[in-house]
Structure 1
């Protein structure tokens, strides 16, 4: 088993739930998977030791808050993205994107005014708001206690699945990697990753693969621009292009023909009509690794629903556990997003390692709701997903995030950002390129 050195620090990611331990375990799993693939490709006699520093992990899990663009702090949540009182409880809305804000307002029949939204919600039940807004294509979730979530049919479906779902799709030949050097050791060097993800877990995963040497091309629909600050935070190491999948299938098929990994982060089934299910992708590109991410899971009554970290926290009881008498609370970071992102990157790296030994196209799948279950119900926190030893107490205090922040010039301006916490002996210490403005690049491999 790969060795991992932990640097434990007190005072980071503090909450009632073991967020520090979850974050530590997710990053450790990713660092270990990277070290093992790098060792295989470089022909090293031993797997390099991974290093997980709680300070670096905490800074990275708050990367969107540490980001500065020419000294300006980013916008993280829009005014209509928050908890609201209802006639019988609370509801959490998400309206950061213009189209989600418009659907929320249409569903409630109110103007774009927080006071009008507040008044409308105060007259309705939380479950009525949840169903009405979702039916209109918006995002709202009723606040539930852990017990209420456990009784929900979606929770029962989530609990049946492992934290990381893995499948072998066919009997494609074993992957033959080009050899790589060991200075720095880049496990994903030469691999091409199609990034079809949006906020936040998927982009964190592909940002990590870019750190490790992958050629990551993010594709977005031309009519769905990413939020600029969010794109800046998660765009390190990548190129960004727009592509209409319905109108330009030829370009996509040309990209797919040379892709090693396809990562998708849209709600389950949303991309299937474009032939982007794992089975369809493997049929056209044998040997591909398909990584899928969703909020609620690709199963159960909520399989087709959109969702974000904040909404999953509200639905699964986390907001109640972290709350107080005056209202719901939140985790100290968007830990479901960030943690799932590092687990997704780790799953891709492990799938590539397995391909070198056994062949086969591979599918890996994660859900924020399943990560939430891991955080809230799987006790002990003495081990990560694959047995990573991780202590729960002790360690030096953390004197702030400064040592894990860096600055760089970019086409977006002067950026202050959090470095990646994924670290192993001989591995990269930073991305090789800053983010570019959304849609800057051509939809082709570099």
Structure 2
């Protein structure tokens, strides 16, 4: 991934979008349907974050336009790309606003809390570690691993007495989340980096020889490519919910299922819950209910730690056996392979491990990207892969799987980046070194408001835009876990 593809307003896409579109199996001829509007002032960073964001959103919008054209009768299955495919417009301003949607969100006039006090960089005896303790159970495991109270000074002292590698392993062994800061070269030498590098940006494949999918026609008022499709959303945090939020925008009936004893962070759920319904279901105890839902589902999106759903008999192969014709989309932090294949992870931790935090840092400080770009970018790319899988099914049949990892998206972002010296001083507080992602840009143009059962909401519009496409979600988010576990 490079940021050399900087189109002028209204220009054609560059190699970033070409690579993203190719990764989901798109027809190169359709790229002529995309124009982009560059706003160099948004998402400022050393790494080509703006290019990555533009490419992921562009691939998603084009996949939606392609499927929409087929369902509206503008394209014949198996036919060549025709002018009837809606025109796609990717505006950096809309993309930047959406990539920090959690920062634009207001709930009843209140700004959300996005990072807990213990989610930050900490100095160790020989470097730095990055922790993630937003969820109460992760916070408890972190403190248990360190054997300390939750006072920041006590946590700092506990880390200062350990090496970064020791801290990483100690906390992970206790089920917590801490990652040693690595340079890009340090990460490249790691076994997990090698395993990630061997994989394509988007893994795609067939699971069986199920018959070709037959989709009912749709009209163009508005054009909803995913209308009538049922999506089981088994994801949490940001990337997976961004993907399913996008599918809901495009007309899908999205039902998110969460375990009853593991509440989602309220503001995070609100930001990513537009257009969806939210139900609670224990996948083991409530297996009969899940099987009823699966029996008529078109897409299953999973985002739990690799191996956890497989132990419940919910691997892509098992799902396809019980529901031929399903599309299974899998998302993970590190990839479901390599020595870290069974580890939990989040965007901020992947940034620290892969060298992004070093590349974006200044002398003495680890840095961060101007957005959780690995989460948001992977989310839009995941939605694009699902839409393309549905399109391919119409031509070729077969249950399908797609698989993405935040670490693989990070590798794409880092391609071609120059090595950067590791920081050696004190880190900034979370977000303190991050410029406003829309500084100097027309951020308000991409925001809107609505009433909801959660209160008055201000939120970022979706950046996925194509001719006759939807302008907003059909409904605001619902409170977590308040819907029935059934299809509409």
TM bucket (normalised to shorter chain) is: over 0.9
Quote the Cα distance in structure 1 between the aligned partners of 2:117 and 2:440. 32
Q: What's the TM-score once normalised by structure 2's chain length?
A: 0.87
Q: What's the TM-score once normalised by structure 1's chain length?
A: 0.95
Q: What displacement does 1:378 show? A: 5.2
Give yes or no for the alignment of 1:413 onto 2:473: no
Give yes or no for the alignment of 1:422 onto 2:452: no
Question: What does residue 383 of structure 1 align with?
Answer: none
Is 2:233–2:301's contact at 8 Å kept on the other side of the alignment? yes
Q: Deviations over 1:300-332 (max 9, x none)?
A: 000000000000000000000000112100000
**Alignment map for 1:53-72 (pairs within 5 Å):** 53-72=91-110
Quote the Cα distance in structure 1 between the aligned partners of 2:232 and 2:469. 23
Is 1:55–1:404's contact at 8 Å kept on the other side of the alignment? yes
Q: What displacement does 1:145 show? A: 0.2
Is 1:55–1:398's contact at 8 Å kept on the other side of the alignment? no
**Alignment map for 1:78-157 (pairs within 5 Å):** 78-157=116-195
Structure with the larger RCO, 1 or 2 (CA within 8 Å, 6+ apart)? 1
Q: What displacement does 1:398 show? A: 5.1
Question: What does residue 323 of structure 1 align with?
Answer: 361
SS in structure 1 of the partner of residue 68 of structure 2: helix
Q: What displacement does 1:9 show? A: 0.9
Flag as ranges the 4+ runs of structure 1 deviating above 2 A.
397-400
Give yes or no for the alignment of 1:37 onto 2:92: no
412-421 or 266-275: which moved more?
Answer: 266-275
SS in structure 2 of the partner of residue 423 of structure 1: coil
- Alignment size in residue pairs: 431
Question: What does residue 435 of structure 1 align with?
Answer: 477
Query: Gaps spanning 5+ residues in structure 1: where?
Result: 380-396
Quote the Cα distance in structure 2 between the aligned partners of 1:265 and 1:302. 16
**Alignment map for 1:11-50 (pairs within 5 Å):** 11-44=41-74, 46-50=84-88
Q: For 1:176, which of 214, 217, 223 is the aligned residue?
A: 214
Q: What displacement does 1:38 show? A: 0.3
Q: What displacement does 1:87 show? A: 0.4
Question: What does residue 445 of structure 2 align with?
Answer: 403
Question: What does residue 260 of structure 1 align with?
Answer: 298
Is 1:219–1:241's contact at 8 Å kept on the other side of the alignment? yes
Q: What displacement does 1:399 show? A: 3.1
Q: For 2:316, which of 278, 282, 290 is the aligned residue?
A: 278
SS in structure 1 of the partner of residue 255 of structure 2: strand
Q: What displacement does 1:248 show? A: 1.0
SS in structure 1 of the partner of residue 179 of structure 2: strand
Quote the Cα distance in structure 2 between the aligned partners of 1:275 and 1:33. 30
**Alignment map for 1:335-354 (pairs within 5 Å):** 335-354=373-392
Q: What displacement does 1:400 show? A: 3.0
Q: What displacement does 1:246 show? A: 1.2
Question: What does residue 286 of structure 2 align with?
Answer: 248
Question: What does residue 7 of structure 1 align with?
Answer: 37
SS in structure 2 of the partner of residue 417 of structure 1: strand
SS in structure 2 of the partner of residue 217 of structure 1: strand
Quote the Cα distance in structure 1 between the aligned partners of 2:444 and 2:406. 29
Q: Deviations over 1:222-267 (max 9, x none)?
A: 0001000000000000000000111110000000001000000011
**Alignment map for 1:186-205 (pairs within 5 Å):** 186-205=224-243
SS in structure 1 of the partner of residue 279 of structure 2: strand
Q: Deviations over 1:87-119 (max 9, x none)?
A: 000000000000000000000000121111011
Question: What does residue 185 of structure 1 align with?
Answer: 223
Is 1:10–1:398's contact at 8 Å kept on the other side of the alignment? no
SS in structure 2 of the partner of residue 92 of structure 1: strand
Q: What displacement does 1:61 show? A: 0.1
SS in structure 2 of the partner of residue 240 of structure 1: strand
CA RMSD, aligned part only? Answer: 1.2
Quote the Cα distance in structure 1 between the aligned partners of 2:393 and 2:307. 26
Give yes or no for the alignment of 1:51 onto 2:89: yes
